[in-house]
């Protein structure tokens, strides 16, 4: 396998030339590795450089010209390529170690959170039990307090007796007051006081009939007054 231009190598590994240039530029910037030699403004890659690039970029080699008759990639032929591979291998190991460390840290965090959650649940249960006990004690205390403050039977009877006596006494006083202050019955008015202008049946009949024009009502009125006059005279005898 002979040296190839950057463009030819990119076509052979089926990679865009610009992407390949970017990858090589990254290797130079980060790791200080530079691939290829420039001749007449064109960059050429040697056989060793082509193999090293394929191994660094994990690009499968399908062309037998890169290896032996079975297509196997030969091992690097220079100490520089070996150092590059060893360095990359170390980087991968470091990344794997970091991943393992992160995994252990996350497991510890998860375990601590689970433990904290369990402790919090236990504390909550204890607080609930204490609250229930305090509630029970408070109920018992209220019951005892009610019993102590409740009046005894004798006290109730004494109070009730006093109330009945007081109520009866007040009732008697009220009756006495009412008796003392009741007005004496008034004497009813006499017929003459109620009807001073009444001069007999005929006179009342004519007078009221002329005033109202209703002789029928006037007749009834005069007869009623005359009857009341006779009854009063009869009662006074």
Give the percent of the chain with pLDDT over 70.
74
Report the distance separating Cα 61 and Cα 122, nearest Å: 62
User: Hey, which residues does 44 pair with through a beta bridge?
Assistant: 5, 37
Q: What is the dihedral of CA 169, 175, 177, 181, to 10 degrees?
A: 180
Arithmetic mean of pLDDT, 204-232:
90
Q: Report the helix count and the strand count for the chain, using DSSP H and E.
A: 8, 3
Instruction: Please state, in angstroms and as integers, the Cα–Cα distance from residue 235 to each residue in 58, 84, 196, 228, following that order.
Output: 149, 155, 19, 11
Query: Please, are residues 229 and 191 in contact by the beta-carbon 8 Å criterion?
Result: yes
pLDDT, mean of residues 177-193? 67
Q: Name the residue ranges covered by the structural domains of the chain.
A: 4-77, 80-150, 191-236
The pLDDT of residue 223 is 92
Task: Determine the pLDDT at residue 177.
Answer: 53
Question: In which band, very low, low, confident or very high, does the pLDDT at 117 lie, cut at 50, 70 and 90?
Answer: confident
> Is residue 72's pLDDT more than 50?
no
Antiparallel, parallel or unpaired: β 42-45 and 37-39? antiparallel
For residue 225, what are the contacts with CB-CB under 8 A and spacing of at least 6? 195, 198, 201, 204
DSSP 213: S
**CB 37, CB 44: distance < 8 Å:** yes
Residue pair 28/18 in contact (Cβ under 8 Å)? The answer is no
At a CB cut-off of 8 Å and minimum separation 6, what does 131 contact?
Answer: none
pLDDT above 90: percentage of residues in the chain: 9
Confidence tier at 224 by pLDDT (50, 70, 90): very high
Q: Which of 4-18, 53-67, 212-226 has the lowest mean pLDDT?
A: 53-67
- Calpha distance 200→226 (Å, rounded): 7
Q: Which residue has the tokens 């990359």?
A: 88
Out of 57-71, 82-96, 118-132, least confident range: 57-71
Q: Which two tokens stand for residue 200?
A: 């007999």
Residue 84 and residue 34: Cα distance in Å, rounded?
11
Q: Phi-psi category of 36—alpha, beta or left, where left has phi over 0 and alpha has psi -120 to 50?
A: left
**What confidence tens digit (pLDDT) does each residue in 26-59 have?**
888 888 888 888 888 888 999 898 888 888 888 7
Give the 3-state secondary structure of residue 189.
Answer: coil
Q: Which tokens hold the place of 22?
A: 């970017």
The pLDDT, as a whole number, for residue 159 is: 47
Report the interhelical angle of 201-212 vs 215-236 (nearest 10°).
150
Mean pLDDT of the chain: 77
Closest C-alpha among 55, 59, 65 to residue 33: 55
């Amino acid at each position: 396998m002979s040296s190839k231009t950057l463009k030819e190598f990119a076509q052979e590994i089926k990679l865009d030339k610009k992407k390949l240039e970017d990858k090589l530029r990254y290797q130079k910037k980060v790791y200080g590795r530079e691939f290829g030699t420039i001749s007449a403004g064109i960059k050429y890659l040697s056989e060793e450089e082509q193999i090293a690039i394929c191994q660094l970029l994990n690009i499968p080699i399908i062309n037998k010209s890169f290896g032996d008759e079975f297509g196997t990639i030969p091992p690097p032929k220079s100490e520089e390529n070996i150092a590059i591979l060893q360095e990359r291998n170390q980087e991968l190991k470091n990344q794997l170690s970091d991943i393992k460390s992160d995994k252990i840290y996350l497991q510890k965090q998860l375990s601590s959170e689970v433990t904290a959650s369990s402790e919090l649940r236990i504390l909550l249960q204890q607080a609930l039990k204490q609250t229930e006990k305090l509630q029970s004690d408070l109920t018992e205390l209220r019951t005892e307090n009610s019993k102590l403050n409740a009046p005894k039977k004798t006290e109730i009877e004494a109070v009730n007796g006093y109330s009945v006596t007081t109520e009866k006494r007040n009732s008697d006083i009220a009756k006495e007051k009412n008796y003392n202050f009741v007005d004496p019955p008034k004497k009813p008015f006499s017929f003459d006081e109620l009807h001073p202008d009444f001069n007999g049946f005929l006179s009342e009949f004519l007078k009221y009939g002329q005033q109202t024009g209703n002789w029928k009502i006037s007749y009834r009125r005069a007869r009623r007054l005359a009857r009341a006059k006779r009854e009063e005279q009869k009662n006074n005898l």
